[in-house]
Structure 1
Amino acid sequence: MGLDFSRISDKLVYILSGIIDTMQFTLLSACVGFLGGALLALIKISDNRPLKGLAVFYTSIFRGTPLILQLTLIYFSIPQLTGYDISPLGAGVIAFGLNSAAYTSETIRAGILAVDKGQREAAIALGIPYRKMMIDIIFPQALKNILPALVNESINLLKDSALVSVIGVTDVLRRANIVAAEKFIYFEPLLVAGLLYYVMVIGFTAAARRFERRLRRSD
């Protein structure tokens, strides 16, 4: 009844190779979420009421429905509605990216509004165009303030990426379940999967803290 990792020793490399799919999915989703969130945040602080209303409605939809529902809806409905077969990885990136954008937009919006208003007033007084002001002055300062929150969102993406296993993405969890079904043991392969997720989160957190320290020293 004890642990016997020797029974899955020939499958460890197979489970480990799932890290590639997991990290690829996480990084792509994080990029989509950050870019989408930045765009939504700028719309929310703009004076365009129709666009602002759409951005708020978008956020409420993705924050008010389960992520697993969004994932399966995108994966199964796109082929039905368009006749185009989307890959499991593509569906996962779209679902997680759009979901992350909703949460990230609020974080970025709060960060932008937290920047001293004097910075914006000085830029306007100097005649700096709005776009250049946001990119070169406001956004870099906001990024330093919201970086911890963005890191937390990325870590959540990494952990929640296990959900894509339900639509067939061969990530770490999916591979661990395949091995478990082949070997008729579940605890050992799932324990290995849990350890891999833990190591990835710790590594990502350490890299993010190092990046944050570099940003702080650049002030």
Structure 2
Amino acid sequence: MYKYKRKLFTFIMALASVAAIAIPLKAEATETENTKGTPENPYFITTDVTYTPFEFQNADGEYVGIDIDIIKAIAEDQGFEIELRPLNFSAGLQALETNQVDGMIAAMSITPEREESFDFSDPYFEAGTVMAVSEVNSEINSYDDLEGKTVAVKVGTTGANFVNELQKEYNIEVNQFDDSATMYEDVIAGHSDAVFDDYPVMAYAVQQGLNLKFPLEPESGDVYGFAVNKDQNPELLEMFNEGLANIQENGTYDDIIDTYLSEDAEPAAGNGIFGLLAANWKDLASGLGSTLVLTLISFAIALVLGTVLGLFSASPNKVMNVISSIYLTIMRGIPLIVLAFFIYFSVPQLFNIQMSAFIAGVTTLTLNTAAYISEQVRGGILAVAKGQLEAGRSLGLSYNTSMRKIILPQAIKIMIPSLINQFVITLKDTSILSVIGIVELTQTGRIIIARTYSSGSMWLIVGVIYIIIITILTWLSSALERRLTND
């Protein structure tokens, strides 16, 4: 009878853990049943996070740029509602392919390869790929000079495809990046010798004071288009084309282009560390808040799930041991970034549901952190003298009661330092979630860099913020450990 109760309790706890993750997904799935394009159920449009001047965040925290202004103008003209889902370019493509979003506008070149997977609108912009080098570089003046050199490209872009073709003729090493600002800084820092990107993007960056120059003229232009998944949302594509024609006719389109590409475009260069702090402290505070919220929620859930799995692992029951072992093997074997992509892109596709980036982020951190907490719980339990449990059982206490009253109170004191350390690790792991569009502290830094091109100062600021938070947590850990030791 005792074994039956213990197995039943274990099953209920496992079921509750799964339900805690599954219920939010079900709630979001019901949203897709409403009519699209309304305020209650807008079209989800993904865009790049940092691709100035086509999409970037301004000093007020609003997403602006040629692409953003165009899609908003078209939505207003055609009378439908949109919600932006900014992602890195390659992640945006995956989101569109898996129907996590309804459309994508991100300076996306219309190519035959992409037309096999996506349906495109009429072209809304023409631009060509161009090569840039550092202002102090006098060695590279043609493609022939790239022989044996290193080139920076952005993943999934036309520039990357152009370099792939050059590699057939020249011996070129390629460094790949997810955002343009970091790619440019790699060249300025001397890690890469040249960079390939769309001409308007780099021309805007140079206009803002970036130390790059163009040794060659841009290649013949590619055309950009708004994309939807193949055979999906034809009505959205039709409204985009109609709206584009209207805003081109009434002059709105020309006004948008002039805002960002005319000689009178407003500079957005950085002003040093203190200037960056003064101008962006609200964004940094918001990013830090997101980091802490993600960490606290994920760690709290992981603590429950990890404790259950740790008890499974320390249990004399072989079935529980196997369950815990399988979970640990899977979760510790999957890189966190792969797990994030799987949960955000693959799970919704497999179960035909919508999932917010926040839910996906919390789920990712929870599943990953629980695996490590379970080992810490198991280690804490095994660190308690074996005779303690035997003494409890000899006094007539059940296994569960002995664990709860005798073993766990002692194990918790042993586990405290490890758990605080795991909390710090989880806090730092939140930076990986920027790949699925969560704007936490690290992603906030990237967004500010894309606007100001002040990477050195901004990464110093972000690093100091992390050090301050982690130092406070370490101090709290030491104080708590001393208090428990003295009790």
Tell me the TM-score range normalised by the shorter chain. over 0.9
SS in 1 for 2:349: helix
Matched AA of 2:332 = R
Q: 1:121: which partner in 2?
A: 390
Larger radius of gyration: 2
SS in 1 for 2:364: helix
Matched AA of 2:479 = R
Q: 1:5: which partner in 2?
A: 273
CA distance in 2, matches of 1:3, 1:155: 31
- 1:186 matched to 2:455? The reply is yes
Q: 1:99: which partner in 2?
A: 368
Asked if 2 retains the 8 angstrom alpha-carbon contact of 1:26 and 1:157, the reply is yes
Q: 1:203: which partner in 2?
A: 472
Q: 1:34: which partner in 2?
A: 303
1:67 to 319, 328, 336: 336
Asked if 2 retains the 8 angstrom alpha-carbon contact of 1:37 and 1:108, the reply is yes
Asked if 2 retains the 8 angstrom alpha-carbon contact of 1:63 and 1:102, the reply is yes
Q: 2:358: which partner in 1?
A: 89
Matched AA of 2:324 = A
1:137 to 381, 406, 410: 406
Matched AA of 1:145 = I
CA distance in 1, matches of 2:482, 2:445: 36
Shift of 1:111: 1.2
Q: 2:313: which partner in 1?
A: 44
Q: Which moved more, 1:45-54 or 1:103-112?
A: 45-54
Asked if 2 retains the 8 angstrom alpha-carbon contact of 1:25 and 1:92, the reply is yes
Matched AA of 2:369 = S
Shift of 1:154: 1.2
Q: What TM-score do you get using the length of structure 1 for normalisation?
A: 0.92
Q: 1:25: which partner in 2?
A: 294
Asked if 2 retains the 8 angstrom alpha-carbon contact of 1:3 and 1:188, the reply is no
Unaligned 5+ segments in structure 2 are: 1-210, 212-269
Q: What TM-score do you get using the length of structure 2 for normalisation?
A: 0.43
Unaligned 5+ segments in structure 1 are: none
Q: 2:104: which partner in 1?
A: none
| Deviation sequence 1:33-79 (CA, Å, 0-9, x none) | 22111111111122332332121011011111211111111111222
Shift of 1:142: 0.7
Shift of 1:3: 7.5
Asked if 2 retains the 8 angstrom alpha-carbon contact of 1:70 and 1:95, the reply is yes
SS in 2 for 1:169: coil
SS in 2 for 1:170: coil
Matched AA of 1:70 = L
| Deviation sequence 1:65-97 (CA, Å, 0-9, x none) | 211111111111222122222222221111111
| Higher percent of residues as helix | 1
Q: 1:57: which partner in 2?
A: 326
Matched AA of 1:4 = G
Q: 2:436: which partner in 1?
A: 167
How many residues matched?
218
Q: 1:155: which partner in 2?
A: 424
Asked if 2 retains the 8 angstrom alpha-carbon contact of 1:7 and 1:183, the reply is no
CA RMSD between the two structures: 1.8
Distance 1:115 1:6, change over 3 A: closer
CA distance in 1, matches of 2:375, 2:449: 40
Shift of 1:6: 5.0
- More relative contact order in 1 or in 2 (CA 8 Å, sep 6+)? 1
SS in 1 for 2:409: helix
CA distance in 2, matches of 1:166, 1:12: 23
Asked if 2 retains the 8 angstrom alpha-carbon contact of 1:78 and 1:85, the reply is no
